[in-house]
Structure 1
Amino acid sequence: MSKHNGEKPYMCGECGYRTADRSNLTVHMRKHTGEKPYKCEQCDFSTRFKVNLDRHIAKHTGEKPYMCGECGYRTADRFTLNRHMRSHTGVKPYKCDQCDYSAARKESLEQHMIKHTGEKPYMCGQCGYRTADRSNLYYHMRTHTGEKPYKCDHCDYSAIRKTYLDQHMATHTGEKPLVCGECGYRTADRSALTRHMTRHTGEKPYKCDLCDYSAATKTNLDRHMTKHTGEKSYTCEECGYRTAYRSALTRHMKTHTGEKPHKCDQCDFSAIQKVSLDKHMAKHIKPT
């Protein structure tokens, strides 16, 4: 009944967290106790959540039993499939209580909230790196441990993040599975599709808190903010390269992935940057 009347009778005695579901409280308490009851039988990985164990096990088995009936997308865990389905239904259950923003994923809402708070609570004990996103800290720590768990099965490339491996794989397959429903634009990079969609919506959600500037992409806001701060906030987790611009970091990452997306249509030349392709094309132009 608590789901209907909004009552949350179960409370954490450590931090005041409240919930309508006793099992949610049990899982929450593991944050305080450090308990990780879900153990991998093939390595020493353990976790607080079964969904995390399922996701981890897929690294050993490669199995992806959960499939989307709309588009054929497959995944190793039910939670990820449920989240994916929102891309078809348009459901965005996570609402910002300070503006009209809503999101399909809780992580997206948490990322959005830092625009209001500016908080970066997660800090690396090795080097002092700070971030607003727990997963960013998790990946950052691999720059210290050297761990690169995502392996290419076509060559000896390995990566800190799955997104880097996915981008690298496009160099082997040429596949661009993500499609814009408005104009048919295709890409291998989910963040590139998100940036592209703002062209259709006209949305400029990224606001400067020092002046009245707003932007369609975080990259453009970050570029603008350097005029105020001079900060170089984007760091390559592979080699430590720093830049003020996300786009510059994206280009830089291709030096690690080997990706050369800009292809000459007259020979087999390819380049990391469009400017390099433009210079190359001049060789094909015959002087008049």
Structure 2
Amino acid sequence: QHGIESTRERIQAGKPQKGALRLYAFQMGTYLLLELWDDGRGLDIEAIKQAAVKNQQFTSEELEVMPLPQIESLVFNPGFSTDSFQRGVSEKGMGLDLVQSTVKRLKGAVYVGSTPGSGCMIQVQLPGPMPPVHLLIISVAGQKYGISIDQVQTTTHLPAQGSKTSRHQEFVGEDGQVVPLVSLADILEVEEQFKQNELCPCVVVVVDGKPLGCLVDEILCEQEVRPQPQGLILKKVRNVSGATILNSGEVCLILNPDDLIRTAQKHLAVSLSS
């Protein structure tokens, strides 16, 4: 019903005697795409509809108004088969179901498309390696953090204050711009380590033209790294956009400047009102 026709059928259809399979692999954005094409008869849509009704998955009325891509995707349903004679795994409707479940475990997706009489295409999308990013590596409370260099306006040194209540709320940058100032240790809710009366390193980040000065313990270096995919746990962590492994083998959290500015605005509002 599906797939490559017999030699006789192909000759009658004006096709080469031997069927063709083409496999393509390429990257699109952060995804790896695999495409398998054949030049066979394509999916038998009527056979798929009949099997769906026979298996009591859908009624004829539902299938009549169902979009074609959704009907084609029924071949991925568990146990779905248009073959009346179940001789093996694929005939039991387990082949494409196993493909889809495996791809989903890899956090990917699989799609099918077909042109009657011309062939079929199956596309697998898998998360690929994320593009490298250039980070400024800093230290706060003994932990290394990274900030995208694209969102760092400048770095400087400012006099450190001995207590949170006496901390400067802003400073004037070299270009005369007034920059709100916070301790990154305060924002991340960790213990700061720079000492009183020392010059404290400051990283000025900017988002949509809004600057924020962040006092840190140390400004260490710049590195080009590949961020790791953000898991469910990190997605719930405020001020963090991801993580990476530094050249030293250490784990480094990547800070989210958008979140930092929002959190800083709340801290500054509380500080000014107290």
User: Same-fold call, TM > 0.5?
Assistant: no
TM-score, normalising length: structure 1: 0.22
Greater strand proportion: 2
Q: Relative to total residues, which structure has the larger helix share, 1 or 2?
A: 1
Specify the structure having the higher radius of gyration (Cα).
Answer: 2
